[in-house]
Amino acid sequence: MIIAIDVGGTKISAALIADDKILEQRKIASVIHSDLTNLSHYLIELCQDWIAQATLVAIACTGQVGDEYVNFLSAKQKLPLKDQLECAFKLPVTIINDAAAAAWAEYCAIKITAKHDTPTPSADSINLSDDTLVYITVSTGIGGGMIQNGQLVTCPDGFCAHLGHVSVQHNSQESITCHCGRVNCAEAIASGTAIAKQASLILNKKVSCKEVFEQYLAVAEIAQLIDDASSAVCDLIANIKAVTGTNIVVLGGSVGSVDIFHQQVIAKVANLPEIYQVRITPPKMGADADLMGAAFYANKK
């Protein structure tokens, strides 16, 4: 059995997994911004009564996940989380970025579906014969994961496939500084945080990204804001295509999955030159993608 833990900025989820199925699941509020130093203690306490049954611990974690440290960017603090958990659990620990875990889950789901397809697959079937896939989550921020030639793209310091920090064009030619220090990163234009911030300035009152999509799309400036955001994601996808050669991009997240936004991106990608064309598909794995992806990856390792 595998203990899988998803360490996010809002919540921490844990599951006991066997035969690719979740047997039990628990959640607590995240402590990243309240008691990060003691994060490992919270994770042990959450899973304490599962340890005797488990052979592996699989972690999906927000932030820059390197071989030695996790750099929790929003908290501006690093932790040797893998070493801490191996000492505490006394089990092998695998740790990857949460968006990378979701990407691996999507890749595995497509491979499993293809394996069980009939000899005449439907029009909705996805061909992963080149074993290359890119996952983009447009949510509070913009994250991503990349599978190239059947391997999840990783690096020693963890700063790879952070797709939100790829610079893109802005339709208005405005320069927006990202919190990473660069200008016009996709995250600075198209993330839920960026949309809410810009919409609040337009409306002269504080609104959430959810409220923007639910209440304000009829406002011309807001409609243009969303159009600019979807154009930024389209530009990001074109850049990704040029780098990876992928034919499939899975687009998810609380913003990326909103129908009007998702359809705008699909339409704009369809108008790109043929060499940049990719198939855009919604996620298959749902809310437990990070947990399942971490478990799948730990099994592979």
- pTM beyond cutoff 0.85: yes
Q: Are residues 154 and 176 in the same domain?
A: yes
Taking the alpha carbons at both ends of the chain, their separation in whole angstroms is 15
The alpha carbons of the chain give a radius of gyration, in whole angstroms, of 19
DSSP-assigned states of every residue in 105-120: HHHHHHHHHHHT--SS
| Overall domain count for the chain | 2
Same domain? For 264 and 188 the reply is: yes
CA angle 149, 298, 30 (to 5 degrees): 115
Are 81 and 191 contained in the same domain?
no
**Mean of pLDDT over the chain:** 91
In a domain, 113, yes or no: no
Same domain, 277 and 291: no
3-state SS assignment for residue 41: helix
Give the tens place of pLDDT for each residue, 13-23: 999 999 989 99
For residue 14, what is the domain's CATH number?
3.30.420.40
For the cut 60, the answer to whether the pLDDT of residue 277 exceeds it is yes
Query: What is residue 19's three-state secondary structure?
Result: coil
Residue 224 has pLDDT above 60, yes or no: yes
Whether residue 283 contacts residue 102, with contact meaning beta carbons closer than 8 Å, is answered with yes
The 10s digit of each residue's pLDDT in 43-94 is 999 999 999 999 999 999 999 999 899 999 878 899 999 999 999 999 999 9
Same domain, 94 and 167: no
The contacts of residue 215 (CB under 8 Å, 6+ apart) are 207
Say which range, 8-12, 212-216, 293-297, has the weakest mean pLDDT: 8-12
Residue 97: phi and psi, rounded to 5, are -60, 145
Both 138 and 269 in one domain: the answer is: yes
pLDDT of residue 237 exceeding 80: yes
**pLDDT at site 120:** 47
Encode pLDDT of 119-167 as tens digits. 544 445 565 657 899 999 999 889 999 999 999 999 999 999 999 999 9
